[in-house]
């Protein structure tokens, strides 16, 4: 078992997956970890929909790519260029079909601190996925509202992320990410 700091340091976004199924016990552990996240007023506003049906995953991919194409077309040219420089595909999302499971995360709007709480839950899901020896990434379609319709989730829940889950079929480089020096983002008593 890895220690928490090592899990946080070593975790990488995975975009290529083996077809091997995710063990039920691992999935239960991951979902349970997400449910342990702190939330405003302990309202636990998150909702998870696990998708394993290939036809539904294919439709999620199609609709995500359409939504991203529309969203990307509205972005400034400089931002689109930056995405390409970062090797972030503007529209193609093959991982949405390749991963054995998709975990669609929603937040119940109207609850105290629903957005922050839901994203803390996403962080717990990411760390638990790594701890279970599986890969994932955080993906949010440009216009994610189609998920409510497709997955029959009430509109009182706002789609926040799609986390593909599976065994990695790649080893992203570099293993150690360049990061900012601590002194560039930590200040004592006031910003100076």
Structural domain tally of the chain? 1
- Per DSSP, the three-state class of 84 is helix
- State the pTM of this model: 0.91
Q: What is the pLDDT along the chain (192 residues), one digit of tens a residue?
A: 569 888 888 899 999 999 999 999 999 999 999 999 999 999 999 999 999 999 999 999 999 999 988 988 888 988 888 877 876 766 789 999 999 999 999 999 999 999 999 999 999 999 999 999 999 999 999 899 999 999 999 999 999 999 999 999 998 876 666 788 888 889 888 887
Q: Is residue 181 part of a domain?
A: no
Q: Is residue 187 part of a domain?
A: no
State the alpha helices, DSSP H only, in 74-181.
77-85, 95-98, 114-131, 146-150
Q: What are phi and psi of 51, to 5 degrees?
A: -115, 125
Q: Is residue 180 part of a domain?
A: no
Q: Is residue 26 part of a domain?
A: yes
CATH code for the domain in which residue 121 is found = 3.40.109.10
DSSP-assigned states of every residue in 18-29: -SPPPPHHHHHH
Instruction: Encode 4-43: b = buried (16+ Cβ within 10 Å), e = exposed.
Output: eeebeeebbebbebeeeebeeebbeebeebbeebebeeee
Give me 120's structure tokens. Answer: 């803390």
- The per-residue pLDDT for 155 is 97
- Residue 45, CA atoms < 13 Å, CB-side half-sphere: 22
Q: What is the DSSP letter of 11?
A: -
Name 163's bridge partners. 103
60 cis-preceded (ω within 30 degrees of 0): no
Give me 83's structure tokens. Answer: 């995405």
Q: Is residue 183 part of a domain?
A: no
Q: Which domain holds residue 32?
A: 4-168
Q: In this structure, are residues 165 and 7 in contact, taking their beta carbons and an 8 Å threshold?
A: no
- The per-residue pLDDT for 1 is 53
- The per-residue pLDDT for 10 is 85
**Residue 106 and residue 114: Cα distance in Å, rounded?**
10
- The per-residue pLDDT for 63 is 96
């Amino acid at each position: 078992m890895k220690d928490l700091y090592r899990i946080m340091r070593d975790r990488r976004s995975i975009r290529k997956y083996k077809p091997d199924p995710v063990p039920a016990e691992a999935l239960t552990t991951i979902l349970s970890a997400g449910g342990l996240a702190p939330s405003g007023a302990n309202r636990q506003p998150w909702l998870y929909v696990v998708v394993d049906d290939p036809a539904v995953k294919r439709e999620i991919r199609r609709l995500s790519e359409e939504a991203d194409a529309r969203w990307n077309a509205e972005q400034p040219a400089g931002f689109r260029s930056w995405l390409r420089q970062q090797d972030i595909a503007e529209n193609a999302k093959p991982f949405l079909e390749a991963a054995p499971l998709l975990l669609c995360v929603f937040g119940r709007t109207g609850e105290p601190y629903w957005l922050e709480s839901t994203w803390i839950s996403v962080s717990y899901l990411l760390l638990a996925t790594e701890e279970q020896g599986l890969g994932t990434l955080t993906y949010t379609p440009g216009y994610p509202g189609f998920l409510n319709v497709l997955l029959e989730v009430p509109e009182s829940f706002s789609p926040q992320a799609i986390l593909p889950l599976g065994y990695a079929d790649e080893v992203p480089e570099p293993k150690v990410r360049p990061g900012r020096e601590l002194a560039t983002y930590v200040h004592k008593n006031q910003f100076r």
